[in-house]
Amino acid sequence: MRIDILTLFPEMFPGPFSASIIKRAVDGGLVSLNIYNIRDYTHDKHHTVDDYAYGGGAGMILKPKPIFEAVESVKGEDTCSVILLTPQGRPFSQSVAQELSRHDRLILICGRYEGVDERIREHLVSDEISIGDYVLSGGELAAMVVVEAVVRLLPGVLGSEESLAEDSHTDGLLEYPQYTRPAVFRGWSVPEVLLSGNHAQIAKWRREKAIRRTKERRPELLDRVSLGKDS
Ligand code: 6GU
C-alpha cells in the first residue's frame, strides 16, 4: 500500500512514523508513507497557501490551486482515493479503517480548521473523514490516527501474537479485562477462572466481561452487534 500525505506541517510526521508497528511495516516494505509539503506546489515568491474568505469572517482559507496541483502531481496516472481530513467529515471508525486498508493507494490532505476552499471538496476529494467531535488546529494528527489504524490492518504487519481478532471494536465489543503475572499483586488476585486452564470457561468469562463492559461504557455499540443467545 502507498499512502501520500499532503500537509503544511511536514515536520510533524517523522516521529509517529519512526517507531513501533508503523516503522516495522515501512521497513518491511508493506507500506510506503510519503509526506509532501503543500507549499512546494505554489509558484509565488511567498509560497502563499491561504487567503481571506470571500464574504468576510475570521480565519484564512486554503486556496484551491496549490492543493489541486499537489494532488495531481502526486497522483500521476493512478486512480486513488483522495481523502480530506476535516471535522466535517464522516466519523472514522474501525470499519472505515478496514475499508481503507483494502485500497492500493490513498492520498490524505490535511485541512486546517478555518477551512478549505469548497471547490476542493466538490471537485478534488472523494472522501472526507473526521476522527471525532472536537476541534484540532489541522488535520495532521487526524492523518496520523488514520495511518496508524489502517497500517496495522495490512496483511503481514502484525505478528501472530498481536492478532487483530481480539482487539476492542474488531467484533463490535470493547475488550475484556486482561491480567499478567503476578497472580496476586498488593493483595489483589487475578480472577480464578483465568488460572484454571479451562479454555472453554475462559472464553465464556471473557465474552461475558466484554459484553458487560460494553453495556456499561458504550451501550450504543451493542445495538450494532448480534450477541447470540447466551447474552
Ligand atoms: Cl480530521 N481535522 C480537524 N482539524 N479537527 C478534527 C478532525 C480533523 N477530526 C476531529 N477533529
- For residue 19, give the C-alpha cell: 517507531
Q: What confidence score (pLDDT) does residue 231 get?
A: 57
Instruction: Please answer whether residues 173 and 210 qualify as being in contact, where contact means their C-beta atoms are separated by less than 8 angstroms.
Output: yes
Triad 217, 164, 24: Cα angle to 5° = 120
Burial of 45 (0-12, 13-18, 19+ CB in 10 A): exposed
- CATH architecture of the domain with range 168-224: Orthogonal Bundle (1.10)
Q: Where are the domains of the chain?
A: 2-151, 168-224
Which atom of ligand 1 is least distant from the CA of 137? 4
Q: What is the mean pLDDT of residues 43-70?
A: 97
Q: What confidence score (pLDDT) does residue 153 get?
A: 97
Instruction: Please answer whether residues 6 and 70 qualify as being in contact, where contact means their C-beta atoms are separated by less than 8 angstroms.
Output: yes
From 73, 212, 230, select the one nearest 222 (Cα to Cα): 212
Query: Which of 93, 130, 147 to mutate to test ligand 1, by most ligand atoms within 8 A of the CB atom?
Result: 130
How does pLDDT run across 194-208, given as a tens digit for each residue?
A: 999 999 999 999 999
Q: What is the mean pLDDT of residues 6-15?
A: 96
Q: What confidence score (pLDDT) does residue 6 get?
A: 98
Triad 108, 71, 30: Cα angle to 5° = 50
CA 165 / ligand 1 centre spacing (Å): 28
Which atom of ligand 1 is least distant from the CA of 129? 1
Q: What is the mean pLDDT of residues 7-32?
A: 96
Q: What confidence score (pLDDT) does residue 230 get?
A: 53
Tell me the pLDDT band of 163, cut-offs 50, 70 and 90. confident
Tell me whether residue 152 is one of the annotated catalytic residues.
yes
Tell me the pLDDT band of 74, cut-offs 50, 70 and 90. very high
Spot the catalytic one: 69, 114, 127, 148: 114
Tell me the pLDDT band of 214, cut-offs 50, 70 and 90. very high
Tell me the pLDDT band of 144, cut-offs 50, 70 and 90. very high
- What is the Cα–Cα distance from 71 to 125, expressed in whole angstroms? 9
Assess whether the previous peptide bond of 219 is cis (omega < 30° from 0).
no
Same fold, 2-151 and 168-224: no
Torsion of CA 212, 151, 180, 173, to 10 degrees: 10
- The residue with greater pLDDT, 92 or 169, is 92
- What is the Cα–Cα distance from 23 to 17, expressed in whole angstroms? 6
**β-strands 184-185, 188-189: how paired?**
antiparallel
How many Cα atoms sit within 13 Å of 108 on the Cβ side? 31
Q: Please check whether the domain covering 2-151 is classified as CATH 3.40.50.2300.
A: no
- What is the Cα–Cα distance from 218 to 175, expressed in whole angstroms? 12
Please give all residues whose beta carbon lies within 6 A of any atom in ligand 1, as ranges. Answer: 85-87, 89, 113, 129-132, 134-136, 138-139, 142
pLDDT of 160 above 90? no
Q: What confidence score (pLDDT) does residue 152 get?
A: 97
Spot the catalytic one: 87, 112, 140, 206: 87
Q: Within 10 Å of residue 215's Cβ, how many Cβ atoms?
A: 14
Tell me the pLDDT band of 108, cut-offs 50, 70 and 90. very high
Tell me whether residue 167 is one of the annotated catalytic residues.
yes
Which atom of ligand 1 is least distant from the CA of 136? 5
CA 127 / ligand 1 centre spacing (Å): 14
CA 86 / ligand 1 centre spacing (Å): 5
Instruction: Please answer whether residues 129 and 90 qualify as being in contact, where contact means their C-beta atoms are separated by less than 8 angstroms.
Output: yes
Q: Helix, strand, coil % (nearest 5) of the chain?
A: 35, 20, 45
How does pLDDT run across 78-94, given as a tens digit for each residue?
A: 999 999 999 999 999 99
Q: Which of 56-65, 155-164, 168-177, 184-193 has the lowest mean pLDDT?
A: 155-164
Query: Which of 113, 137, 141 to mutate to test ligand 1, by most ligand atoms within 8 A of the CB atom?
Result: 113
β-partners of residue 90 are 129
How does pLDDT run across 28-46, given as a tens digit for each residue?
A: 999 999 999 999 999 999 9
From 71, 72, 76, select the one nearest 109 (Cα to Cα): 71
pLDDT of 133 above 80? yes
Q: What confidence score (pLDDT) does residue 97 get?
A: 98
Q: What is the pTM of this model?
A: 0.94
